[in-house]
Structure 1
Amino acid sequence: MREPAGPSPAVGADDRERLLTGTHHDPHTVLGAHPVPDGVAFRAFRPYALSVTVVAGPLRAELRHDSDGFFSGLLPLREVPEYRLLVAYEGTVQDTEDAYGFLPTLGAFDLHLIAEGRHEQLWKVLGAHPMTHQGATGTRFSVWAPNARGVRLAGGFNFWDGRTYPMRSLGSSGVWELFVPGLGPGTLYKFEITRPDGTHTLRADPMARRTEVPPATASIVTESAYAWRDTEWMSGRGDVAVCRAPLSVYEVHLPSWRPGLTYRQLAEQLPGYVRDLGFTHVELMPLAEHPFGGSWGYQVTGFYAPTARLGTPDDFRFLVDALHRAGIGVLLDWVPAHFPRDDWALAQFDGRPLYEHQDPQRAAHPDWGTLEFDLGRREVRNFLIANALYWCEEFHLDGLRVDAVASMLYLDYSRTPGRWTPNIHGGNENLDAVAFLQDLNATLHRRHPDVITLAEESTAWNGVTRPTHHGGLGFDLKWNMGWMHDSLTYLAHNPVHRRHHHHRMTFSLTYAHTEHYILPLSHDEVVHGKRSLVSKMPGDWWQQRADHRAYLAYMWAHPGKQLLFMGQEFAQATEWSHTHGPDWWLLDPAHPAEPDHRGIRDLVRDLNTHYRHTPALWQNDTDPTGFHWITADAADDNVLAFLRHDTHGTPLLAVSHFSPAVRHDYRLGVPDHHHTWHETLNTDHTRYGGSNIHNPEPLTPEPTPCHGHTTSIRLTLPPLATLWLRPD
C-alpha cells in the first residue's frame, strides 16, 4: 500500500541551522521517527537526495522535501513501526535502516569509566565496531571530543559529506556516538568535527584499529577473524622472571628487514632466521601507523593500528603467531612520549589542545618538532595505558620497549632556562609522567604478569626497575645507555691509546646491579653518520672484524641482557638505511668477503647457544654475588677478566683482550677448587675469521697466588679476542 505522508512536521529553524552547520549535540531527538499527537513524525536529512520513502511492512510513504536536504512526513500511526528508508539519488536508490531510529550503544558504566580515565579496554568502546544492535547489523562509531560543538561521520558511504550523519553527544563524558546500520568491515571513514570557533576539521579516528596505506589517511572499520595457535607459548612464557632468565634480543625494522615483504611473507622468513641464530626475542621498531616512513615509526598518528604498509591487523597477528610457534618472544617499540602535528590526526583534535598539554611550552617537544602528551589529563593517560594493553591483549605481545622515557621524566629535557617551569616542589621532575609510568606498569603487570616492559631511559633516574609499590617506576628492564656509550667510545680508540680509556670498560660494573639492565646496540648507533658497528673499530678490515667479534663476546658475558640491531650480526659495513635495510648480498657465497661476514654470524649463533646453556650468564644478572672481577686494572695490557656465577656457584671465566698483540703465558688468578679450565669459546677461531690462536689443552691451576686468589692459570691471549673458559 502506498500513500503520501500527512502534513509536514518539518524540522524547526533552530534545529535545521544546527544540523546544517554541524553543531547539533542530539540529532536523534529531531531526525528519525517520533510519536506526536496526530501520529508518527518522520524526518530525514539527506543532502542531494531526490526523494526519501518510508517503508513499513506494506506501507510506503514518500516524505516531502522541505529544502536543503530535509525530508519530513506525518503518518497516522499509533506507534513507531519497524521501518526502512529508500533514498533515491541520481542513478541509484539506497535501501537502508534509519540510523536515527536506534538507542545509544554505550552504557552508563562504560561512560563512567571513560570519564574516570579507568577504562582498561578503551578500544572496545571507542572507535568503529561492527555489531548487531536492536536486531540490525551495522557499525557503532564513537569518539572522544569534549571541546567539539558537533561531530559528524564522513566516509565513502556518504560521499565524504558529513552532513548526512551527525553524531550525538553522550553527556559530560565528551563522547560522541552513532550506530549506522549496513556498514561493516572495510568501510572507510573519518570524523568531521566542528571546532569551538565554528570551523570544521576532518580527522582520522584516534582509536582506529586499521588505516589506509600511507600517504592516504582514512580510518577503516575492521573486525578480527584470526584464530591463534600459540597456546603453548602463551601458557609458559611467564614461568621464570625475566631478570633470572636468558634474554637475547634481535632488533628489527620490519619494513626494511627484507624490503617489500608483507607481514605474512615475513612470517615465512623471520622466525626461521632468528631461531637459527638463537635469539630468544625480537624487538620490532614501532609498527603503529605513521605517515612518514623516514621516522621509522617514531612519529605515530594511529596508535591502535598496525601499519598498513605491510598488511592488515590479522596479518600482523599471523606474524606474531609464527614467531611464538618458533619459540621466539615478541617485543614492540612503543611511543607514548609524543605525536606529530598532522592536521588530520591528534593535534588540537577537537579545536583545542586535547591530547597535548595546554601549556605551549609543555606541549612542544624541542627536539623532534612534535607535541607531548598531557600526562596529567586522566583521559589521555587512559588512552595510552589502554593502548599498551591493547597491543599485548589483541596481538599477544610479550613486552613493550617504552621509547624516550627520559624526555618524559624531566620538565627541562632539552629546554633552556626560561623555557620550562619547575614542579610544585621546585624540581625538574615531571610528576605527571612519573605517575603515568607507574600507573602504566602497575596496570599492565596486574593484568598480565607475564608481559615485560623495558625503558629507554638514558639518565641516572633512581628506581626505573624498582617495583611501583616500593616507589619505583616499575619497569622490568632498563636500557643501559651508559654502558653502550662508554664501551663504544673505548673501542673507537686505537689499541695503543686504549690504556688511557680503560675506565670506560670497567665503570659500568660499579652500577651494573643498581637496576635490571639490558645492553643495547640498537639502530640509533648505526645511523646519522655514526657508521655501522664494525666500521666504528679502528685499523684494517681484519682488525675491525676482530674487535667486532671480541666486543660481542664481551657484551654477551657482561651482566645484563643483550640487544643487537639487524645487520650487525654479520658485520654489515655500511650504515643502516630504512629504504634498503641490511646488505644481505654480503652473505652471498659468490661475494669475495662472504666468509668474513658469515664468520661473524656464526659467532653470534654460537654466543646465543652458549648463552642459553650457561646459567652463569643470566641467572644472577641482578645479584652482585653473580659477578667477580679477576682483573679490572690491566689497562696497559688492554685486558678485562671476570667471573660469572650461576645460582649453584658454577663459574664462567670471561677474558677480553683488546690489543692486537699475542700474549703468551698470561697469568690470571682463579678459584682454587677447580681442577682444570677449558676454553669453550674463542672469538679468534678460524670458524669466525680469526687467526686460530687458542688454548687447545685444559689449563691446570698452579699454586701461584694472583689477583687475590691462591691459584692461577697461564694462558695464551689471542689478538683482539674474547675467551670464555669453564672449569671441569
Structure 2
Amino acid sequence: MALRDTALPEAAGPRPLAAPALDPADRARLLAGAHHDPHSLLGAHPVPEGVLFRALRPFADSVAVVVDGVSTPLVSEEDGLFAAVLPLDAVPAYTLRVAYGGDEREVEDPYRFLPALGDLDLHLVREGRHEELWRALGAEPMTHQGVTGTRFTVWAPNARGVRVAGDFCCWDGTAFPMRSLGAAGVWELFLPGIGEGTRYKFEITSRHGGRFLKADPMARRAEVPPDTASIVHASHYTWGDAEWMAHRGDVPVHVAPFSVYEVHLPSWRPGLSYRELAEVLPAYVTDLGFTHVELMPVAQHPFSGSWGYQVTGFYAPTARLGTPDDFKFLVDALHRAGVGVIVDWVPAHFPKDDWALARFDGDPLYEPGDARRAEHPDWGTFEFDFGRVEVRNFLVANATYWCEEFHIDGLRVDAVASMLYLDYSRDSGQWAPNVFGGREDLDAVAFLQEMNATVYRRNPGVVTIAEESTAWEGVTRPTDSGGLGFGLKWNMGWMHDSLQYIAKEPVHRKYHHHEMTFSMVYAYSENYVLPISHDEVVHGKQALVSKMPGDWWQRRANHRAYLGFMWAHPGKQLLFMGQEFAQGAEWSEAHGPEWWLLDDDYASAGDHRGVRDLVRELNTVYRATPALWERDTDPGGFRWVVGDAADDNVFAFLRYGADGAPLLAVSNFSPVVRHDYRLAVPEEVPAWAEVLNTDDGRFGGGGVGRSGPVKAANGEVLLTLPPLATVWLVPSAV
C-alpha cells in the first residue's frame, strides 16, 4: 500500500459523531469474506449527519481519517472495524492513518475508488467475446483516479465473496474484500500502492462456506515452483523484430519451407535461463538450417515431469527460466536470427491442484459439472467445459495472447483428438452422446473453430497446428467451409507406419512395404507435418537411431536414410532435439540431449557429427529446392517412379516445384549396393546430378555414389544405389 510515516495534527474542527452500527448480517458477511459489496460498507458515504467513514484494518491499534492535513480518529467497532461520522457537506479527498504497534502510516483507502473496470469489458466477459481478456481480468498495474496501484479482477461467479491476499498483508485477505460487479461474475478491487513484483492470490469463500486461496487464472507471472503465488507484472520489453513481424506472413506456410526443431527449453541446455538460451539456441538452429523451433509448453506448470503438458498458469511463461520479459527476449533473438517460434498449447485439460483452476470458486467452473465429462481418463486431470462461453473465451483469448504479447508465430495444439470425441478413452456408460446421438463433442468443435478463426483474423502470418491422431475430416479445412480451421496437422499415420517399417530387419521389410507407401493415399486430405517428436523417443519407444536394426553402422545408415526419405516426402518436417545427432538413449527431461556425444574426446564423436552434418545439409538443400515444399498440398507436386519394389526395399518418387522443376528422391532400405538400378524419369531431362546422398563419407557413410551427372536415355536412368541410403537428384546439363 502507499505508506509513509506521518506526524499529523489531531482534529481541530467539529468533533466526530458516533457511526451507526452495521447491520449484524452485513457485518458477519464482511468479516467472513462473504460480502458481495464491501464498498457499500467501507470507505466514505454521505449520511444525514455528514459523512460516514468506515475502515477494516485487522490488528491495527488505531485508524484515523486525514482530511486537508487534519487527522480525526475513528472509533473501534471491534474485529478490526473503525468508524466515525464527520459533519461534512460532501465526501472529501482523504487518506487513512493506521497505527500498528506505534508505527503509524498514511495510506490510501481502497474503498474510496470507483470500479476500475468498464461496462464494455464486463459485457464482453459475460458474452464470452472479450478477445483481449488479459486486459480486463487479472492484476493490472495502473493509475486510477490519479493514484498508482493495481487493479485486481477475477471471474468467480459462484463465490459468496472474494478477497485479495498477498505478501503485503501477510497472506491474510481480511482487510481487502473485493466487490462483485454483477451478472458477469467478476470481482474487482483497486489497491493503491501495490505494484509490480507483488505476490498475491485470491481468497475465495464458496457458496458452501469453504474458504481457500487460489492463484490468479489470468496471472501473467508466477512464482518458481514449488511456490504457487501469482505475481503482479507489467511488461517493459522493447521488441526488435519489427521486420520479422512485418514479413512473416508474406508467403503462406503451406507453400513455404517449414522445417521445425522441437525443443524442451528447460532441458535443451539444463540450467540456462531464457536470456542465456537466447545466446546459443538461435545460433544452433540457424546453423542447422531449421526454419522454426517448436517449444514444448512454456506456460506455467507445477510439475516439471509433465514437460509442461499440465498447465496451471495459462497466461504466464514458466518462471523456472526467468520473467515474461526474459521469454520475450528469447523470442526476439530467434526472430532476429530469422527463426520462427511455435509453442505447444494445451487447451485439452488442466491438473487438479487445489490452488489452481480445479473447482475454482468451490464449484466446477472451468471443468464441466457432469463428472462423466469433467474427468480426463488418461491423465488424471480435468477437461475444460467447452460449452461455457466464459471458459471458451478464457482459452480463445489465451491463444491470441501468446501470439500478440509474445510474438509467437504458431500454436501447436496438443491432444486435439481427446477434445473432439465424447467417448475418448471411455467405455460404454461412461459418456453421454451429443444432441444428435453422436460421439462428437460439438462444443469442442465450436471452440476450436472459434479459436482458429480468431487467431488467424487477429494475427496474420501465424499458423495453428493440430496434433490430431484420428481421421477426423476437415482438420485443416477453413471454418467457413465447415472445417476446424487449422493451418497444418501432424501426420500421425505416416509417423506410425514409417517407424514401424524402419524398425524391421531389411530382410523382413518387403512384407511391410505398403507401410511406407500408404501415406500417399491420403497425403492431400489435409495439410500435413511429418513429426518425429518427443513422444516417439520416450517411455521405452527408444531414440530414433536405436529403433533401427543392425549394428551401429547399420543403425546410423538407417537413421540417415530415413531422414532423407522424410525430408523428401510431401509434408513439412519436425525433428525432436537429440535426434539431429543420433543420440542413442531416450530423452530425459532431467538431463536433456547427450551433448557429450559430440565432444572431441568421445571415440564415436565423428559418427554423431556426421548425422548432424547430414541434417544441416538436408535443410540447406531443402530450403533451396522449391520442389520439396512449394506443392506439399498439391497432388500435382508428386509422382511415384517406383512404389512397388518391395523385394528391393526401394522407393523412388519425383517432387515438382511450381515451375515444374523436378527432384528425384530414391531410398534403398536394403544393406546392399544396387548397381545399374533402372528408373523411369521425365524424358525432357537429359541428365541428373546428386545433390544429396546420405551415404556420403561426410555424414559417416560408405561413400557409394556418383561424382558426376548420370545421363538419361529414352526416359530411363541407371543409378548406383548405396546401401541403406537415400539420394536426391536434380536435372543437370550433360
Length-normalised TM-score, structure 1: 0.98
* One-letter amino acid of the structure 1 residue matched with residue 724 of structure 2: L
The one of 721, 724, 731 equivalent to 1:717 is 721
Rounded to whole Å, the distance in 2 between the matches of 1:91 and 1:442 is: 60
Rounded to whole Å, the distance in 1 between the matches of 2:448 and 2:96 is: 50
* SS of equivalent to 2:355: coil
Aligned position for 1:641? 652
* SS of equivalent to 1:171: coil
Would you say 1:384 and 2:395 are equivalent positions? yes
* One-letter amino acid of the structure 2 residue matched with residue 467 of structure 1: P
CA offset at residue 430 of structure 1?
A: 0.5
Would you say 1:620 and 2:631 are equivalent positions? yes
* One-letter amino acid of the structure 1 residue matched with residue 505 of structure 2: N
The one of 86, 97, 101 equivalent to 1:90 is 101
Rounded to whole Å, the distance in 2 between the matches of 1:594 and 1:298 is: 33
Would you say 1:402 and 2:398 are equivalent positions? no
- Equivalent positions of 1:468-617 (< 5 A) are 468-617=479-628
Rounded to whole Å, the distance in 2 between the matches of 1:103 and 1:502 is: 72
Would you say 1:2 and 2:27 are equivalent positions? no
Rounded to whole Å, the distance in 1 between the matches of 2:102 and 2:662 is: 82
Determine if contact 1:682/1:694 at 8 Å carries over to the other structure.
Answer: yes
The one of 197, 200, 203 equivalent to 1:186 is 197
CA offset at residue 479 of structure 1?
A: 0.1
* One-letter amino acid of the structure 1 residue matched with residue 643 of structure 2: A
Rounded to whole Å, the distance in 1 between the matches of 2:116 and 2:709 is: 74
Q: Does 91-100 or 617-626 show the bigger shift?
A: 91-100
Determine if contact 1:357/1:373 at 8 Å carries over to the other structure.
Answer: yes
Rounded to whole Å, the distance in 1 between the matches of 2:459 and 2:127 is: 22
Determine if contact 2:705/2:722 at 8 Å carries over to the other structure.
Answer: yes
* One-letter amino acid of the structure 1 residue matched with residue 440 of structure 2: E
Rounded to whole Å, the distance in 1 between the matches of 2:104 and 2:371 is: 50
CA offset at residue 91 of structure 1?
A: 5.5
Rounded to whole Å, the distance in 2 between the matches of 1:589 and 1:351 is: 59
* SS of equivalent to 1:202: strand
* SS of equivalent to 2:404: helix
RMSD: 0.8
- Equivalent positions of 1:285-364 (< 5 A) are 285-364=296-375
Rounded to whole Å, the distance in 2 between the matches of 1:503 and 1:487 is: 10
Would you say 1:670 and 2:681 are equivalent positions? yes
Rounded to whole Å, the distance in 2 between the matches of 1:469 and 1:120 is: 20
Would you say 1:160 and 2:177 are equivalent positions? no
Rounded to whole Å, the distance in 2 between the matches of 1:91 and 1:594 is: 70
Aligned position for 2:37? 26
Rounded to whole Å, the distance in 1 between the matches of 2:377 and 2:115 is: 43
Give per-residue Cα distances to partners, 1:261-284, cap 9 Å, x unaligned: 000000000000000000000000
Would you say 1:253 and 2:264 are equivalent positions? yes
Would you say 1:220 and 2:231 are equivalent positions? yes
- Equivalent positions of 1:68-467 (< 5 A) are 68-90=79-101, 92-467=103-478
Give per-residue Cα distances to partners, 1:348-374, cap 9 Å, x unaligned: 000110000111010000000000000
Rounded to whole Å, the distance in 2 between the matches of 1:93 and 1:209 is: 34
Give per-residue Cα distances to partners, 1:68-98, cap 9 Å, x unaligned: 1110011121111111111111353332100
CA offset at residue 560 of structure 1?
A: 0.2
Rounded to whole Å, the distance in 2 between the matches of 1:422 and 1:123 is: 34
Determine if contact 1:10/1:73 at 8 Å carries over to the other structure.
Answer: no
Aligned position for 1:707? none
Give per-residue Cα distances to partners, 1:456-490, cap 9 Å, x unaligned: 00000000000001110000000000000000000
* One-letter amino acid of the structure 2 residue matched with residue 601 of structure 1: R
Give per-residue Cα distances to partners, 1:273-332, cap 9 Å, x unaligned: 000000000000001100000000000000000000000000000000000000000000
Determine if contact 1:289/1:301 at 8 Å carries over to the other structure.
Answer: yes
* One-letter amino acid of the structure 2 residue matched with residue 228 of structure 1: W
Aligned position for 1:727? 731
Give per-residue Cα distances to partners, 1:648-693, cap 9 Å, x unaligned: 1000000000010111111111010011100110000000000000
Rounded to whole Å, the distance in 1 between the matches of 2:235 and 2:21 is: 42
Q: Does 627-636 or 29-38 show the bigger shift?
A: 29-38
* SS of equivalent to 1:48: coil
Aligned position for 1:708? none
* SS of equivalent to 1:52: strand
CA offset at residue 118 of structure 1?
A: 0.2
> Gaps (5+ residues) in structure 1?
704-710
* One-letter amino acid of the structure 2 residue matched with residue 343 of structure 1: D
Determine if contact 1:11/1:43 at 8 Å carries over to the other structure.
Answer: no
* One-letter amino acid of the structure 2 residue matched with residue 392 of structure 1: C
Change (3 A) 1:323 1:91: farther
Q: Does 55-64 or 112-121 show the bigger shift?
A: 55-64
Give per-residue Cα distances to partners, 1:186-239, cap 9 Å, x unaligned: 011100111111110110000000000000000000000000000010000000
* One-letter amino acid of the structure 1 residue matched with residue 83 of structure 2: S
Determine if contact 1:5/1:64 at 8 Å carries over to the other structure.
Answer: no
Determine if contact 2:686/2:713 at 8 Å carries over to the other structure.
Answer: no
Determine if contact 1:125/1:142 at 8 Å carries over to the other structure.
Answer: yes
* SS of equivalent to 1:339: coil
* SS of equivalent to 1:498: helix
* One-letter amino acid of the structure 1 residue matched with residue 731 of structure 2: P
Rounded to whole Å, the distance in 2 between the matches of 1:149 and 1:45 is: 19
* One-letter amino acid of the structure 1 residue matched with residue 384 of structure 2: F
Rounded to whole Å, the distance in 1 between the matches of 2:178 and 2:668 is: 69
* One-letter amino acid of the structure 2 residue matched with residue 2 of structure 1: E
The one of 53, 57, 64 equivalent to 1:53 is 64
> Gaps (5+ residues) in structure 2?
1-8
Rounded to whole Å, the distance in 1 between the matches of 2:662 and 2:254 is: 18
Rounded to whole Å, the distance in 2 between the matches of 1:11 and 1:630 is: 88
Aligned position for 2:49? 38
* SS of equivalent to 1:323: helix
**% identical equivalent positions:** 69
Rounded to whole Å, the distance in 1 between the matches of 2:709 and 2:301 is: 56
Aligned position for 2:4? none
Rounded to whole Å, the distance in 1 between the matches of 2:96 and 2:550 is: 79
Q: Does 678-687 or 89-98 show the bigger shift?
A: 89-98
Would you say 1:691 and 2:702 are equivalent positions? yes
CA offset at residue 30 of structure 1?
A: 0.7
Would you say 1:13 and 2:24 are equivalent positions? yes
Rounded to whole Å, the distance in 1 between the matches of 2:321 and 2:106 is: 36
Determine if contact 2:239/2:332 at 8 Å carries over to the other structure.
Answer: yes
* SS of equivalent to 2:17: coil
Determine if contact 1:286/1:297 at 8 Å carries over to the other structure.
Answer: yes
CA offset at residue 10 of structure 1?
A: 3.8
Rounded to whole Å, the distance in 1 between the matches of 2:20 and 2:697 is: 91
Rounded to whole Å, the distance in 2 between the matches of 1:334 and 1:80 is: 50
